[in-house]
């Protein structure tokens, strides 16, 4: 499509968009009494209006039923983890037996590594992208130390080529191949939180398996943002959080994917809890852990129902909108954003976009590397009602979310940004 640099054109794109009605389903934050331009759905997704009633349902059932709510609540709490499976499965491209909502992201990362990172004398290396999110770095480092391995030997962090900001797929595959004799695990952030690069999950998985390792992904910035096919690619495991693009609320329930090929492999080591035990025998409280089939067998604790209720309300919107439709709008929205930014006179002097410029290699986020006055420009954005994200020393991350952001907002952002720069 040929874009035009005008408010009229932006509004026209909004009018023509089949998902435009979803914005009304969300509470939009205000700055000084005016609806903010909220481009931080990559950090905390907005609240669907339906969340309140969904949580109220559980509060009412708790009030009326007490412990009996486990069985007699409208959505019986005992089976709560099952209610989100279909929607979660669709988001990652999986079967329901492969996905479950549980815990928090970093906890799930450790749980998955307890299973899929089993270093031996010969195979002990973890390969990841350089500059991974801090929590992931700490998880990798501590897992290595936990197994008595020096992180400087065991952790391979892949950096972009000199002068480049993102990794090339062929370089990733080559590095994985180069470490094939010592490789235990490949783990990448599916969408890199800083650069916004959407890695080629299929190729990375292929390379990791060819090199004899397991392959997992952190979907924190991918879940609800891009469409995925984890099952088809044969990815071993993945983890995500619920509060970013999934709009499940602050500290909202996270989740995990374990491929069906591992569903009944009970020889895999794992850390266990009663919620992972065969549900028919769970309340017999007997000795001897007998895991559920599939990822359910990795559950530890009983389900956080209030947090899950918020997530169910949000997932209903994803089911209605469809991740493929969301992605389609997202590609157009971010392409338009990029077009407007690069139409600014003399833009190269002020900033460069470090996110890949090919839609298939990114999600909705653009990371703008400021070459001068970065912090000042960012403060101007804030002053003018934009909620965006500043990363030291010089990057502004903006994420127009297809579920609730508009082409008009993208246009207005660029106007504010252009004026702030000059
Ligand atoms: C947001 C994010 C986290 C946060 O971890 P929590 O356990 O949810 O606090 C971790 N890793 C990545 C890649 C993230 O983007």
Ligand 1: centre distance to CA 389 (Å):
15
- At residue 189, the pLDDT reads 98
Q: Does 292 reside within a domain?
A: yes
State the CATH number of the domain containing residue 81: 3.40.640.10
Encode the chain in three state secondary structure. Answer: CCCCCCHHHHHHHHHHCCCHHHHHHECCCEECCEECEECECCCCCCCECCHHHHHHHHHHHHHHHHHHHHHHCCCCHHHHHHHCHHHHHHHHCCCHHHEEECCCHHHHHHHHHHHHCCCCCCCCEEEEECCCCHHHHHHHHHHHHHCCCCHHHHEEEECCCCCCCCCCHHHHHHHHHHCCCCEEEEEEECECCCCCEECCHHHHHHHHHHCCCEEEEECCCCCCCCCCCHHHHCCCEEEECCCCCCCCCCCCCCEEEECHHHCCCCCCCCCCCHHHECCCCHHHCCCCCCECCHHHHHCCCCCCHHHHHHHHHHHHHHHHHCHHHHHHHHHHHHHHHHHHHHCCCCHHHHEEECCCCCHHHECCCEEEEECCCHHHHHHHHHHCCEECEEECCCEEEEECCCCCCCHHHHHHHHHHHHHHHC
In angstroms and rounded to an integer, the radius of gyration of the C-alpha atoms of the chain is 22
Q: Is 241 in the pocket of ligand 1 (CB under 6 A)?
A: yes
Ligand 1: centre distance to CA 390 (Å):
17
Q: Which of 125, 101, 151 is nearest to 298 (CA)?
A: 101
Strand partners of residue 387: 38
Q: 330 and 344: one domain?
A: yes
Cα of 99 vs its chain's centroid, Å: 14
- At residue 422, the pLDDT reads 82
Atom in ligand 1 nearest the alpha carbon of residue 135: 10
Q: Is 129 in the pocket of ligand 1 (CB under 6 A)?
A: no
Token pair of 419 as six digits: 């004026």
Ligand 1: centre distance to CA 241 (Å):
7
Q: 372 and 327: one domain?
A: yes
Last residue of a domain, one of 319, 343, 359: 319
The span from the CA of 325 to the CA of 340, in Å, is 23
Q: Does 119 reside within a domain?
A: yes
187-224: b (≥16 Cβ within 10 Å) or e: bbbbbbbbbbbbbbbbebbbbbbebebbbbbbbbbbbb
Q: 25 and 162: one domain?
A: no
Tokens 């709009």 belong to: 247
Atom in ligand 1 nearest the alpha carbon of residue 189: 13
Q: Does 377 reside within a domain?
A: yes
Q: Are strands 99-101 and 37-38 parallel, antiparallel or unpaired?
A: unpaired
Q: Are strands 30-31 and 351-353 parallel, antiparallel or unpaired?
A: unpaired
Q: 367 and 307: one domain?
A: no
Ligand 1: centre distance to CA 255 (Å):
12
Atom in ligand 1 nearest the alpha carbon of residue 132: 13
Q: Is 104 in the pocket of ligand 1 (CB under 6 A)?
A: yes
Last residue of a domain, one of 260, 290, 319: 319
Ligand 1: centre distance to CA 186 (Å):
18
Q: 239 and 150: one domain?
A: yes
The span from the CA of 231 to the CA of 349, in Å, is 44
Q: Does 296 reside within a domain?
A: yes
User: Which amino acid residue places its CA nearest to atom 1 of ligand 1?
Assistant: 220
Q: Is 136 in the pocket of ligand 1 (CB under 6 A)?
A: yes
Ligand 1: centre distance to CA 153 (Å):
25
Ligand 1: centre distance to CA 360 (Å):
23
Ligand 1: centre distance to CA 279 (Å):
30
Q: Does 40 reside within a domain?
A: no
Q: 393 and 313: one domain?
A: no
Atom in ligand 1 nearest the alpha carbon of residue 104: 7
Ligand 1: centre distance to CA 78 (Å):
27
309-323: b (≥16 Cβ within 10 Å) or e: bbbbbbbbbbeebeb
User: Which amino acid residue places its CA nearest to atom 15 of ligand 1?
Assistant: 220
Q: How would you write the pLDDT of the chain (422 residues) with one tens digit per residue?
A: 899 999 999 999 999 999 999 999 999 999 999 999 999 999 999 999 999 999 999 999 999 999 999 999 999 999 999 999 999 999 999 999 999 999 999 999 999 999 999 999 999 999 999 999 999 999 999 999 999 999 999 999 999 999 999 999 999 999 999 999 999 999 999 999 999 999 999 999 999 999 999 999 999 999 999 999 999 999 999 999 999 999 999 999 999 999 999 999 999 999 999 999 999 999 999 999 999 999 999 999 999 999 999 999 999 999 999 999 999 999 999 999 999 999 999 999 999 999 999 999 999 999 999 999 999 999 999 999 999 999 999 999 999 999 999 999 999 999 999 999 88
Q: 168 and 260: one domain?
A: yes
User: Which amino acid residue places its CA nearest to atom 8 of ligand 1?
Assistant: 105
Ligand 1: centre distance to CA 132 (Å):
10
Atom in ligand 1 nearest the alpha carbon of residue 43: 1
Q: Is 133 in the pocket of ligand 1 (CB under 6 A)?
A: yes
Tokens 């191949």 belong to: 177
The span from the CA of 45 to the CA of 343, in Å, is 29
Q: Does 47 reside within a domain?
A: no
Cα of 90 vs its chain's centroid, Å: 14
State the CATH number of the domain containing residue 402: 3.90.1150.10
Last residue of a domain, one of 319, 339, 363: 319
Ligand 1: centre distance to CA 376 (Å):
28
Q: 182 and 305: one domain?
A: yes
- At residue 1, the pLDDT reads 82
Cα 247-83-106 angle, rounded to 5 deg = 50
Atom in ligand 1 nearest the alpha carbon of residue 109: 7
Structurally, the chain folds into a number of domains equal to 2
Give residues with Cβ within 8 angstroms of 134, minimum separation 6: none
User: Which amino acid residue places its CA nearest to atom 2 of ligand 1?
Assistant: 220
Q: Does 369 reside within a domain?
A: yes
User: Which amino acid residue places its CA nearest to atom 10 of ligand 1?
Assistant: 135
* Domain assignment of residue 412, given as a range: 7-35+322-421
Q: Which of 240, 291, 8 is nearest to 104 (CA)?
A: 240
Q: 160 and 268: one domain?
A: yes
Token pair of 28 as six digits: 């939009």
Q: 12 and 66: one domain?
A: no
Q: Is 39 in the pocket of ligand 1 (CB under 6 A)?
A: no
Tokens 């209030």 belong to: 306
Q: 90 and 186: one domain?
A: yes
Q: 377 and 397: one domain?
A: yes
Q: Does 41 reside within a domain?
A: no
Q: How crowded is residue 174: how many other Cβ atoms within 10 Å of its Cβ?
A: 12
């Amino acid at each position: 499509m040929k874009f035009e640099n005008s408010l009229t054109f932006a509004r026209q794109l909004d009018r023509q968009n089949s998902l435009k009605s979803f914005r009304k389903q969300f509470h939009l934050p205000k700055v000084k009494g005016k609806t903010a331009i909220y481009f931080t759905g990559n950090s905390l997704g907005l609240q669907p209006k339906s969340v309140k009633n969904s949580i109220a349902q559980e509060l009412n059932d708790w009030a009326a039923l007490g412990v009996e709510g486990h069985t007699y609540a409208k959505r019986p709490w005992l089976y709560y983890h099952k209610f989100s499976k279909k929607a979660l499965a669709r988001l990652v491209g999986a079967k329901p037996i492969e996905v479950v909502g549980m815990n928090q992201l970093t906890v799930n990362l450790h749980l998955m590594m307890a299973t899929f990172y089993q270093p031996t004398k010969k195979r002990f290396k973890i390969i990841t992208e350089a500059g991974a999110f801090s929590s992931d770095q700490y998880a990798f480092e501590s897992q290595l130390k936990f197994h008595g391995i020096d992180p400087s030997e065991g952790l391979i962090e892949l950096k972009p080529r000199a002068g480049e900001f993102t990794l090339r797929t062929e370089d990733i595959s080559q590095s994985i191949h180069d470490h094939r004799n010592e490789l235990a695990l490949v783990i990448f952030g599916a969408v890199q939180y800083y650069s916004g690069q959407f890695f080629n999950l299929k190729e990375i998985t292929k390379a990791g398996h060819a090199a004899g390792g397991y392959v997992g992904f952190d979907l924190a910035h991918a879940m609800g943002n891009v469409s995925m096919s984890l099952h088809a690619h044969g990815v071993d495991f993945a983890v995500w959080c619920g509060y970013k693009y999934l709009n499940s609320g602050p500290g909202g329930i996270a989740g995990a994917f374990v491929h069906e090929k591992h569903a009944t492999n009970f020889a895999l080591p794992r850390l266990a809890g009663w919620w992972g035990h065969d549900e028919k025998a769970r309340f017999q409280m007997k000795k001897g852990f007998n895991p559920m089939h599939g990822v359910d067998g990795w559950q530890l604790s009983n389900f956080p129902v209030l947090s899950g209720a918020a997530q169910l309300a949000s997932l209903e919107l994803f089911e209605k909108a469809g991740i493929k439709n969301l992605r389609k709008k997202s590609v157009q929205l971010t392409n338009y954003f990029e077009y407007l930014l690069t139409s600014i006179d003399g833009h190269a002097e002020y900033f460069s976009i470090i996110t890949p410029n090919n839609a298939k290699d990114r999600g909705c986020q653009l990371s703008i590397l400021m070459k001068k006055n970065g912090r000042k420009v960012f403060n101007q954005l804030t002053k003018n009602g934009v909620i965006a994200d500043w990363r030291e020393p010089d990057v502004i991350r903006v994420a127009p979310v297809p579920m609730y952001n508009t082409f008009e907002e993208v246009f207005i952002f660029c106007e504010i940004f252009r004026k702030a720069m000059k």
